[in-house]
Amino acid sequence: MPPLRLAVLGCADFARRRMLPAFAACDDIALSAVASRDHARARSLADAYGCRALHGYTAALEDDDVDAVYIPLPAGLHAHWVREALLAGKHVLAEKPLATTRAETADLLDLARTRGLALVENVLFPHHSQHARARELVEAGTIGEPRFFQAAFTVPRRPDTDIRYRADLGGGALWDVGVYPVRAALFALGEDLRVAGAVAVRDTEWDVDTGGAALLHTPSGVSAQLAFGLDDAYRSVYTYAGSRGRLTVEPAFTPPADHIPSLRLERGGEITEVRLAAEDQVARAVAAFVAAVRGGVAPDVAVLRQAALLEAIATRAAVAARP
Ligand SMILES: NC(=O)c1ccc[n+]([C@@H]2O[C@H](COP(=O)([O-])OP(=O)(O)OC[C@H]3O[C@@H](n4cnc5c(N)ncnc54)[C@H](OP(=O)(O)O)[C@@H]3O)[C@@H](O)[C@H]2O)c1
């Protein structure tokens, strides 16, 4: 089967650091073009990968030698360019979140379905099998009855000019890093999660939330306590707490490809480390995208539930100001 011809929209830092190397390493992908608002920028990145440079994102969507696009734009631009790409007949791998409302997310998923195109949200961590292994251990009763789940994804402050601090570009901690603990809670506790309450911390310097927390629960009262932030010490962790013990996965969301996972099981004062094989979650996510395009795999239902929960957290959060 010929490789999927892929174009990248925007010379994003994350695309340069993680996704372009993974696309280039995948035999099923042929990098076709890099498109940028700035032609010289597109040229220098395209040259590094021996592909074409295009000026403007529309040029990639109108290009017959492009089957699929990767969209690593600021969050507030995702929905527009995902829609344009689908309308142009391209398969789409888009950065998280697909859109900043549940309704828009549902519309985009419907559009992809009716056009017979793959639409995949680029949340990488679920592609690492350490999470399925952790859930299996919990389901096997290793920590007794599940009582609550705690997850945190917090990262250090970025330069003031970063897209994450721009309200007009869909910035803010919830859309950028809050996605991860919410997705982890869905994976751990299932789709019936509801939002009980939330806090959004607003920095007086920026018109966006720079951190927050949310309390969710299942109908049977298992709670999920989630934290996220853009001006914090680095944390990337979750814990299942049960009636007889707890299980922790750390680092949970961004383990490097050579990281040997070690799940930490604590029971009655005894600690057991469950070691697993290293996995490259970026390579696995890229392979899953190719499989979605080729196999006509339906979008992950978690994407829509995640969008609904993020919207509920955003609308219900009590706002606190950080001086
Ligand atoms: N899945 C993951 O693990 C992960 C990790 C990190 C980041 N991300 C996501 O990747 C995306 C990019 O993040 P990043 O940190 O790489 O950001 P970035 O370096 O600032 O890149 C954003 C790109 O968007 C384009 N753009 C279009 N309109 C823009 C505007 N008005 N202002 C600024 N840039 C604009 C620019 O490309 P041109 O100027 O070349 O057109 C720019 O290079 C975000 O959606 C982020 O959430 C995902």
Q: What is the pLDDT of residue 90?
A: 98
Give residue 188's pLDDT.
98
- How confident is the model at residue 155, as a pLDDT? 98
- What pLDDT was estimated at residue 83? 98
Homologous superfamily in CATH for domain 4-124: NAD(P)-binding Rossmann-like Domain (3.40.50.720)
HEC sequence for the chain = CCCEEEEEECCCHHHHHHHHHHHHHCCCEEEEEEEECCHHHHHHHHHHCCCEEEECHHHHHCCCCCCEEEECCCHHHHHHHHHHHHHCCCEEEECCCCCCCHHHHHHHHHHHHHHCCCEEECCCHHHCCHHHHHHHHHHCCCCCCEEEEEEEEECCCCCCCCHHHCHHHCCCHHHHHHHHHHHHHHHHHCCCCEEEEEEEEEECCCCCEEEEEEEEECCCCCEEEEEEECCCCCEEEEEEEECCCEEEECCCCCCCCCCCCEEEEEECCEEEEEECCCCCHHHHHHHHHHHHHHHCCCCCCHHHHHHHHHHHHHHHCEEEEEC
Q: Is the CB of 55 under 6 A from ligand 1?
A: no
Q: What is the pLDDT along the chain (323 residues), one digit of tens a residue?
A: 899 999 999 999 999 999 999 999 999 999 999 999 999 999 999 999 999 999 999 999 999 999 999 999 999 999 999 999 999 999 999 999 999 999 999 999 999 999 999 999 999 999 999 999 999 999 999 999 999 999 999 999 999 999 999 999 999 999 999 999 999 999 999 999 999 999 999 987 788 999 999 999 999 999 999 999 999 999 999 999 999 999 999 999 999 999 999 999 999 999 999 999 999 999 999 999 999 999 877 777 899 999 999 999 999 999 999 87
Domain extents for the chain?
4-124, 126-282+309-322
Atom of ligand 1 nearest to the CA of 45: 40
Cβ of 236 below 6 Å from ligand 1: no
Indicate which atom in ligand 1 lies nearest the CA of residue 73. Answer: 24
Is 90 annotated in the active site? no
C-alpha pair distances (Å), 303 with each of 122, 128, 274: 10, 17, 29
Tell me how far the alpha carbon of residue 77 lies from the centroid of ligand 1, in angstroms: 10
- Ligand 1 atom closest to the CA of 78, numbered from 1: 45
Query: Residue 322 has what pLDDT?
Result: 84
| Fold (CATH) for 126-282+309-322 | Dihydrodipicolinate Reductase; domain 2 (3.30.360)
**What pLDDT, on a 0 to 100 scale, did the predictor assign at position 300?**
76
Q: pLDDT value at position 204?
A: 77
What pLDDT shows up at residue 301? 84
Neighbouring C-beta atoms of residue 271, cutoff 10 Å: 10
Catalytic residue among 91, 96, 183, 202, which?
A: 96
Q: How far is CA 168 from CA 57, 110, 315, 322, in A?
A: 19, 26, 18, 20
Q: What is the whole-number distance in angstroms between the Cα of residue 192 and the centre of ligand 1?
A: 32
